[in-house]
Chain A
Amino acid sequence: MTATTSLPQASPWSRVGAIFRRDAIVALSYPGNFALSWLSIVIQVVVAWYISRLIPNSPKFSATGEVAASYFQYIAINTAFVRFQTAALNSFAESIRDAQLTGTLEIVLSTPTRLNTLVLSSAVWSMTYTVLQTVVFLAIAAAFGLDLRHVDALTALVFLILTVTSVAPLGVLAAALSMVIKKTGPVEFLSTASASLFGGVYLPLRLLPGWLQAIGWTLPITHALNGFRAAASGVPLAQVAGDAIWLLVASAILMPLSLWLFAKSVDKARVDGTLSMY
């Protein structure tokens, strides 16, 4: 051993990989929970399919509002998206909360790893797992009649990336709040339930009162959903460019802002000595 640190340093990405691996091992170490999370996918598809049989086709359920579409087509795409959005919103705060509860937050923060790397990496496993589950969800839904023949791959890919970059900052903000209030319950409600209602997950936005439509329009989820439904219906990117630009601008503003606020919340916890408090 030497008196100063002289060991060769690995690439910064190895830290992201280590956090991903840790989260994967922890998740897979709960086999019951792991199996149930897959079972829930099947149940969600079956429930959506059953409900859709009670609701007649309508143009309100189509991406463009011009031709009649089935409610199953509408709700299946939205539910798949909600899984994705929930992961993006909640996984950051849950990761912080887990670290507080397990007592690992302080020792992790005592390592020479940048705060941004720690917080952004904390959702990588969750997002990857959710992408995998969403693909399976869509495959099962296709077996129940979801029409994915017209998917526009480019639109889907662009909106997938923009959804992550625009919704993740809200997740980081939730993590910042959880660092201060030490609970994720209110954060989850505010981020998921309200976003789902105002964002037009369960009902098309155009069916809501005007003022709720106005609130919904400001949320990234609304534009992300528009994009995904358009992608599923084969709508080219150019037709939903407005939504894409909105998400791009939101990402550019929200991402640095959320990381700054997260750093501030960690600073406050350090000043108050509440890093390990839960």
Chain B
Amino acid sequence: MLTVEHVDKSFPVSHGFGAMLRSMTGRSVPRRQVLFDVNLTVARGELFGLLGPNGAGKSTLLKLLSTLTVPDRGRMTIDGIDVEREPLKAKRRIGMCTSDERSFYFRLTARQNMEFFGALMGLGGAVLKKRIEECAELVDLHESLDQRFGGYSSGMRVRLAVARALLADPAILFLDEPTRAVDPVHAEDLRGLIRRNLVDGAGKTVVLATNLLDEAWDLCDRVAVVNRGRIVALAPPRELDAELDAVARYRVTVDAVDDDLLHRTRTVPGFRDLRIIKRERSVDLHVEMEPRAGALGALMRAISWSATGVRDFRPVENEPVDVFKKVTLQDDRDH
């Protein structure tokens, strides 16, 4: 299990000469806070998503958990091990896949890179050789292991980073945008590997940072939406709509619109928004309603009582992007 309790993190806003002088003269260097009171619990065997726009704080959170940076405040544990107090112990339980494809040695072959990092993870001899073959096969790189890493495509580099994270067979995996720059076929394979092999098959805990909504929605057991350093929503993807009080959307196709129809629609209890799209022989009304009980019935009655003919009436499912936009925009308004 993994816990994050009340974690704040800030970085100096400047690393220049002025900052150095301030630091040397004992004055504080201005800092920009990037994480605010983050609280999380990830259960063993869970696939947990960190979803957010660029710069939201997802990678910083993963770096904190992998001891590459330290929090200003708060505490983090991995299987009960305090990450700050016992970093070596904590690091033995994690596998890190960074989003930076430069994290390998370009002059070495993929196999030599894996041998090097495997040794730093404490593996050696026949065990390491076997693990390299197994992990490379999982990401479909076993036939290009003896190619120089510098000759790898961006997608291959990311896949090798996933294989490296798996080398020591860690209990917990931190995957920072693991399908970035990967072609669609291999991206789908990687998602299958993460969900089926690692989480469902091997019972590993995976924290997946991504800015791909569909990836988070399709893969993760729970998703934390991160915006401007805050967790603004946390729930299973399909429950996020309800938890966030998301809008209910309907598309109503009518013969024509008149003022009476528009007035009736806009005065339905729970009405939020209306968009009108005129077509050649009909008009589409895109209505947003609060998802409260009775709102749908009221809307149907309001439209059917108007003089215009109703051709079609159907709910429109919330797309992940709608939920994401709503959550982040609401947070932006609040801060």
User: A-side interface residues toward B, CB under 8 Å?
Assistant: 1-11, 14-15, 17-19, 21-22, 25-26, 29-30, 102-104, 106-114, 267, 270-277
Contacts and interface: CB of A to CB of B under 8 A. Distances in A.
A9 B66 CA distance: 20
Nearest to B121: A111
B15 A5 contact: no
Contact of B103 (A4, A11, A104): A104
Contacts of A5: 92-93, 168-171
B286 interface: no
B108 interface: yes
B203 interface: yes
Given A26-B107, A110-B68, A110-B96, A18 B203 contact: no
A270 B69 contact: yes
7 contacts: A3-B202, A10-B125, A17-B119, A21-B116, A104-B105, A113-B120, A270-B68
B172 to A, nearest CB: 9
A7 B123 contact: yes
Interface string B22-61: 0000000000000000000000110000000000000010
Given A2-B169, A5-B92, A5-B171, A112 B121 contact: yes
B12 interface: yes
Given A1-B202, A1-B204, A107 B117 contact: yes
Interface of B: 11-12, 15, 44-45, 60, 63, 66-70, 88-89, 91-94, 96, 98, 100, 102-108, 112, 115-117, 119-125, 127-128, 131, 164, 166, 168-171, 197-198, 201-204
A23 to B, nearest CB: 10
Given A104-B102, A272-B11, A114 B88 contact: yes
B120 A111 contact: yes
B10 to A, nearest CB: 9
Nearest to A3: B203
A19 B203 CA distance: 32
Interface centre among A102, A107, A110, A272 (most CB of B within 10 A): A110
Contacts of A30: 107
A4 B79 CA distance: 10
Contacts of A270: 67-70
Main secondary structure of the interface of A (DSSP, over half): loop
Contacts of B120: 15, 18, 108, 111-113
B119 A275 contact: no
- Closest 3 CB pairs between A and B? A10-B124, A103-B102, A18-B119
Contacts, number: 130
A22 B45 CA distance: 35
Nearest to A272: B12
B246 to A, nearest CB: 35
Contact of A110 (B44, B91, B198): B91
A15 B118 CA distance: 9
A26 B105 contact: yes
A109 B94 CA distance: 13
Nearest to A181: B20
Given A25-B112, A112-B91, A273-B69, A102 B105 contact: yes
Nearest to A26: B107
A240 B166 CA distance: 54
Contacts of B67: 109-110, 270
Given A9-B122, A10-B119, A17-B119, A103 B103 contact: yes
Given A5-B93, A107-B164, 11 more contacts: A1-B198, A7-B123, A7-B168, A21-B115, A22-B105, A30-B107, A108-B117, A111-B121, A112-B92, A112-B120, A113-B122
Contacts of A106: 63, 68, 98, 100, 103
A7 B127 contact: yes
B127 A14 contact: no
B116 A18 contact: yes
Contacts of A7: 123, 127, 131, 168-169
Given A18-B116, A22-B105, A102-B102, A9 B68 contact: no
A101 B65 CA distance: 23
Nearest to B201: A1
A270 B122 CA distance: 23
